[in-house]
Amino acid sequence: MLTKKSNSVTLNNKRLKDKIFPYAMVAPSVIIFTLFAVYPFLMGIYISFFRWDGLSAMQYVGTQNYSNVFIDSNYWTALKHTFFYAFFVTVGKNVLGFILAKLMMDLVFAKGFFRTITYMPVTFSYVVCGMLWAWIFNPTFGLLNNFLSLVGADSLIMGWLSDPKVAIYSVMWVDIWRWAGFHMVLYLAGLQAIPKDYYEAAEIDGAGPVSKFFKITIPQLNSVIVLNILMAVTGALVSNYDIVNVMTGGGPFGSTEVALTYIYRNAFEFYNLGKASAMSVILFGLTLIFGAIQIFSMTRDENYDS
Amino acid sequence: MNMNKALKIVGTVLKVVALAIIILLTIYPLIWMISGSLKGTQEFYTNIWGIPDAWKFANYSAAWSRAGLGVKYMNSLIVLAVTLLVIIPAVGCAAYAIARTNFRFKKAVYSYLLLGLCIPTGVLAIPIFSAALNFGLVDKLSGMILFGAAQCMAFGTFLLRSFFISLPKSLEEAAMIDGCTRFQSFLRVILPLAKPGVMTLVVLDGITVWNEYLLASVLLRTDAKMTLPLGMKSFADKYVTDYPQLFAGLVIVTVPMLIIYVFAQRSFIEGMTAGSVKQ
């Protein structure tokens, strides 16, 4: 004890530095995150209790905005579209990503080349993808309808973005098209990590391709599948504004209106930021569960180092 | 035996065909975008499938000047560069502290940062506008940078932390015995080894920031401050009829991210793989 005490100022100084060091290291992230993500978030909850057009003074209205949202059937339709969209897009991205990965696994040559190509659309913005595909879907000059008439499938020719029954599927396809390569990379990594002798042992036991798939591939890929699905779900629920805005603007007849486009419209076309905030809070509440599962699965079975 | 062989051949053929179709679906729209950008306005409607008769590179200069892409390009590049310069050091330091040091609020800080995954830009868009009004960040590139960076904190911390944890501790200990401070050993020893993780972040965050559209629609109001995605949308709304020029614009917007991706690819794939598959 005595020696420690007499052991000069430098040691104390160093100990103090060691103590402060971690806090100094996390400070920038914590500050930026707090000011520019958490603060706006709290602000959104606050504003949801006011009437506000974005310019004049705010007026406290209690839960009025929320009761307005509850009787606004347009919002609930938009929410229905959002979840419908998220479900099919998640399934589509994962199925296509998985099939691609499986095909890549068996490829003996040019693996890197094909992987690069299928990943390319991920780097494109939704604005670019949306404009490109809007033109492919163009009823008279678009590639798709021209291709269909070329192969004699005239009965399939339709207004891909102008038919209210079809438009949302066309938009979903573009989202799937953009992200399939991303999921493919993750699935490919998962598939490559499965030891080959598992399959060899199963073959010796007489297992066919189907049982190998369900008994080895799927269980081994478990964590990769969870990650892929979560990423696709959270992505599809809250990042479809761009693609819908660019391709259809929510139309025709509101058939592709999702929660985000409707919220944006309320805020910047109807100048009702209070109601828009209330709708954002409700959307947050509905998507929270997926975010929470994602955090849980990302931190699970990991031990904090020492 | 013969039957089996035949089945195998059929299977292989099916696989190749399926792969070819998917590759074609991916790449043909891109080729078509480039070829469309080089056609004349007339030809664009008449020659739908083929390559252009005469390559009209003039479309590019026309799109560049009509859409005012020069300013928007600068804006986008500034936002991209500065945002990455904010994110990577901030996230790197935080991830290192969480992975390698001990402090009282470690768990709390990590969970707090991960909350960012729960509050994505989508639900934040409208509140961000109000916060930006308070901070005086409406129609400012700095607003795009700060709000954009805040969105990337959670995933970045998560990814780099998992990289730092996988590196052996003896590395820093050796560096510190050699006289490095803790920070120096992080900077000179640990960070270089986590290069795949950093490159993964550069590519993923780079794609997000470069393509950010909702945040831009909420924050940016004037032509002089617009970034590329917003600029392209307003160009498309104004000149709906000139498709070759629009396509030329799309190509111009797309190229930088493609280049970054192709160059960073190897590290990036390695990083994605290590981040998602725990062996």
Q: What percent of chain A has pLDDT over 90?
A: 40
The gap between the terminal CA atoms of chain A, to the nearest Å, is 26
Tokens for A124? Answer: 């494109």
Tokens for A222? Answer: 């478990």
Confirm if B76 and B209 have CB atoms less than 8 A apart: no
Q: Is B139 exposed, middle or buried (0-12, 13-18, 19+ CB in 10 A)?
A: middle
Q: Provide CATH code, domain A66-299.
A: 1.10.3720.10
Note the pLDDT tens digit of each residue in B17-70. 888 888 888 888 888 888 888 888 778 887 777 778 778 888 888 888 888 888
Those residues whose C-beta lies under 8 Å from the C-beta of residue A196, and which sit 6 or more positions away, are: none
Those residues whose C-beta lies under 8 Å from the C-beta of residue A144, and which sit 6 or more positions away, are: A136, A137, A160
The shortest C-alpha distance from B273 to chain A (Å) reads 5
Torsion sign (Cα): B23, B203, B110, A288: negative
Q: Is A287 exposed, middle or buried (0-12, 13-18, 19+ CB in 10 A)?
A: buried
Torsion sign (Cα): A14, A18, A23, A29: positive
Q: Tell me what ipTM this predicted complex has.
A: 0.89
Please answer yes or no on whether B153 and A32 come within 8 Å at the CB atom. yes
Domain ranges of chain A: 2-47, 66-299
Alpha carbon A24 to chain centroid, angstroms: 32
Query: What three-state secondary structure class fits A51?
Result: strand
**pTM score:** 0.88
Contacts of B130 in chain A (CB under 8 A): 40, 43-44, 47, 54, 273, 277
Q: What is d(CA A263, CA A274) in angstroms, rounded to the nearest whole number?
A: 10
Contacts of B35 in chain A (CB under 8 A): none
Q: Is B7 exposed, middle or buried (0-12, 13-18, 19+ CB in 10 A)?
A: exposed
Confirm if B191 and B172 have CB atoms less than 8 A apart: no
Alpha carbon B246 to chain centroid, angstroms: 22
How many H-runs (helices) and E-runs (strands) does chain B carry? 14, 0
Residue A52 to residues A264, A267, A282, B205, B220, Cα–Cα distance (Å): 14, 9, 18, 33, 20
Q: Return the amino acid letter for A294.
A: Q
pLDDT at A205: 87
Please answer yes or no on whether A227 and B101 come within 8 Å at the CB atom. no
Query: Stretch A86-97: mean pLDDT, rounded?
Result: 94
Chain B interface includes A12 (CB < 8 A)? no
Confirm if B28 and B15 have CB atoms less than 8 A apart: no
How many beta-carbon pairs below 8 A join chains A and B?
Answer: 283
pLDDT at A305: 40
Please answer yes or no on whether A304 and B107 come within 8 Å at the CB atom. yes
Q: What percent of chain A has pLDDT over 70?
A: 94
Q: Which residues of B96-134 are buried (b: 16+ CB within 10 A; e: fewer)?
A: bbbbbbebeebeebbebbbbbbbbbbbbbbbbbbbbbee
A 23-42 residues with CB < 8 A to B: 23, 25-26, 28-30, 32-33, 35-41
Query: Stretch A193-221: mean pLDDT, rounded?
Result: 87
Count CB-CB contacts under 10 A for residue B82: 18
pLDDT at A88: 95
